[in-house]
Each structure stands twice: as C-alpha cells, then as structure tokens.
Structure 1
C-alpha cells in the first residue's frame, strides 16, 4: 500500500469503565517506551459506535467514538445480528478476517487468517474454518485451482478430526463440487 492511501486520524474515544457490559480497557502509558504517551489498551473485540467524523483544516480526520456496551438497547438488535453472523465462540483474528472478507478486502483477510493459523494449536477446530475461508476468498477472486487446494486441505483436516458423517464434511464436499462446476468440470 502506498503512503498516498493513508490518512492522518485522531481518535476521540468516550469510554466509561462503569458502563455494564463494555469490554475492559487499561491505561498503559507507564509501560510505553515514550514517556510523553498517554496510551490506552482496549481488549480485542471491543466495539465502538462512531458518532462523528470530521476533517480539520490541518488535514487530520477526527473520529469521535463511544465504547459500545452489550446493554445499549438501541444498538443491541444490530449487534446481535452481527454476532450471529460472525461470532463462533471467542472473538478471534478469524472473526476479524471474516469481516474483512465480507468487505472484499481479501489480501488483509488472508494476512489475518495466516497469522491466526500460525498461532493455533495443532488440530484446533478453527483450522478447517480458516481453510474454508481461504478457499472462499480464492473462489471470489476467480482462482479456482487455489480454492481447490484450500478446500481439499479443509476436507483432509475434517476427515481426520471430525466424526464420520459430520455435516461440515458435506459442506466442504459441496464447496469442492461448486468449484468444479464453475471451472466447467462436471
């Protein structure tokens, strides 16, 4: 990515630690290498509501955000819908990669999936999900041969780790069949 694609951004975050249901955060300024930093670390999976975005005369964008709480009744239906689509247990790099995939940001999604795969323990259940998502991205990009490699890796993993007849195995067989259909090999 070239430097021209970047914008300067200032994040103004309203985060009240007393809000029930909000992810925890902590001031880590004392741990920073730079003594003049006032840094806050938010737990991975924290969600923010964007209140306003402005661009000042100096070219800096200011994004005003509020830390989201699970108990916010206005946002709960939207967040529940997103949770049902992306949330499969614990929020992870794979969850984030799935969101990037849905935004057609395949290179970034692949980067997060590969990082996640590298950190997963052997035979972790998310391994097959990673392979399936990589296969889906390859299909979306029209690289059917690459998608078959990923789907076959997923199938081999599932056949080795899941009980015989698990529906996920059939889903991967279907994905492989769909790729062959798209390639014209019936």
Structure 2
C-alpha cells in the first residue's frame, strides 16, 4: 500500500475529542478527476528543487501557518549568510506574518529582507566593477 492514494470521505472527531475518525476509500489509477490533479502536482513539485521552503509553502497553502513558519525558519538557520535564497525567505516570512495578522512581525521580516538585499546588492555590484 506504499504510495497508495485515498479519497477522504469524512473527517470528524470523536465525542470526547481525543480521537479523529477518518473515512476514506482507496482510489484506482483510472479515476479521471484525481489523475489530472496528480499530474499537475507532479509537474509543479518535480519541475523545481524541493527544499524546506517548498514544504513551508505547501503547509501555508494547506492552512498550517505555524508549521510553515517553523520550516521557513529552519531553512533560514541552515543557509549561509550570502545565500541568494535568504532575501526570498525573509519576504516569505513577512508575507506569512502579515497573512496571520501579525503586522509588526511582518514589518520586521520585510526590513530584514530590504537590509539583506541592500547589503548583498552592493557587494555584488562592487565585484562587477573591479
């Protein structure tokens, strides 16, 4: 059953709220609606590098902003200070903070993005003129 795809029919919690009950059915390879979705998802995710940023964005789209932030920050901590992805990550974190209503935090992340871009733009510009 590894790699199997299921269609979720119903998800609910038990009366005491401690157990989740999930009703699902095994999908066949010939289900037309699902087939196109799978093809689109494979094209979307396999056409580019998959990293923690990809996972964070997927979690954000799934409505899990806390987990998305966790993975954005984990990647941020792993990257070297000159990595070109840092500016994008700061912007992602700023947009995520804004999305959840934390505007002060959003502003901090966007300021970090601007400062990082300024610092790294000047160092690359100097290198080009030498």
Q: TM-score, normalised by structure 2?
A: 0.63
Question: Which residue of the partner structure matches residue 39 of structure 2?
Answer: 76
> Residues 77, 138 of structure 1: CA spacing in aligned structure 2 closer, same or farther, 3 A cutoff?
closer
Match of 2:117 among 128, 136, 158: 158
1:104 equivalenced with 2:67 (yes/no)? no
1:1-29 CA distance string (max 9 Å, x none): xxxxxxxxxxx314xxxxxxxxxxxxxxx
Q: Kindly tell me: are residues 121 and 64 of structure 1, through their superposed partners in 2, closer, same or farther at Cα, counting changes over 3 Å?
A: farther
Query: Match for 1:93 among 52, 62, 74?
Result: 52
| Cα distance in 2, alignment partners of residues 117 and 95 from structure 1 | 13
TM-score normalised by the chain length of structure 1:
0.46
Q: Is residue 5 of structure 2 the alignment partner of residue 50 of structure 1?
A: yes
Structure 1 residue 91: deviation in Å? 0.8
SS at match of 2:109: helix
Matched residue, 1:13: 2
Matched, 1:123 2:82: yes
Unmatched tracts of structure 2, length 5 or more: 11-19, 28-34, 126-130
Cα distance in 2 between the residues matched to 1:60 and 1:104: 20
Partner Cα distance (2:71, 2:87) in 1: 15
What is the rounded CA distance, in whole Å, between the counterparts of 1:94 and 1:78 in structure 2? 16
Q: Taking structure 1 as reference, are residues 118 and 78 closer, same or farther at Cα in structure 2, changes over 3 Å only?
A: closer
Q: Would the alpha carbon gap of residues 51 and 142 (structure 1) be closer, same or farther in structure 2, given more than 3 Å must change?
A: closer
The number of residue pairs the alignment matches comes to 106
Specify the alignment match of 1:6 in structure 2: none
